[in-house]
Amino acid sequence: MSQETAKSDNLYIQVWRNPIFHHLLLATTSAEQWQTFTALSVFMNNKGECNPSLSKLSQILGLNSVASVSRRIKSLESVHFQGKPLLEVTRGKKRKIKGKWVFAKNGYLLNQEIVTIFALHETTSAYRRLQTEEFKKTKAKNHKLV
C-alpha cells in the first residue's frame, strides 16, 4: 500500500450532533435513507462531493441490483434538513457508444451541515496510535540495518 493510499484511508466521517440530537434528523429519515447517506459519505471530499458508481454502492450496501441503489438515492433526495436537501444529485447524461447506451456517473453533493470529513489530527488518539505504529516500524527497519 502506498503512503498516499494510507493517508486517504485515514480520513474519518464526522457526523454533526445537533441535526440528530436537537433537530431529530433520524426521526425524519428512514433507516434505509440514513444507511444510503452514510454509504455515500465514505466517498466524499472536503466539499461534500462524491461520485461513486452505483455498482460500488450496491456492493457496500449489500444490495443485489443497481436499480435498488437508484431507488434509494431518489428517496434520499426528497429528505430535507432545515430547508436544504440531504443529498443533491447531478445526473450524468447517457451517451451512445458503439451502438450501445452508456450512462455516465452521477455526481452527489452531501449536506455539510450533517456530515463532513476530517483527517487525523495530532490531538486525536487515533493519530497518536498511528504515529506510534510508524515509529515502531521505522525503529524495526533501522534495527535490521545495524
Q: In 18-52, which positions are buried (b, 16+ CB within 10 angstroms) versus exposed (e)?
A: ebeeeeebeeebeeebbbbbebbbebbeeebebeb
For residue 96, the model assigns a pLDDT of 76
Contact yes or no for 41/12 (Cβ under 8 A): no
Q: Which of 58, 50, 62 is nearest to 105 (CA)?
A: 50
% pLDDT > 90, the chain: 56
* CA distance linking residue 103 with residue 109, whole number of Å: 19
For residue 129, the model assigns a pLDDT of 74
Bridge partners of residue 118, in order along the sequence: 12
Q: Map out the domains of the chain with their CATH numbers.
A: 11-120 (1.10.10)
HEC per residue, 26-38: HHHCCHHHHHHHH
Grid-cell match 444490495, residue found: 63
Grid-cell match 454502492, residue found: 57
For residue 103, give the DSSP letter. P
**pLDDT per residue as tens digits for the range 95-134:** 777 877 777 789 999 999 999 987 655 656 666 677 788 8
Distance from the Cα of residue 82 to its chain's centroid: 22
**pLDDT per residue as tens digits for the range 45-99:** 989 999 999 999 999 999 999 999 999 999 999 999 999 999 999 988 777 778 7
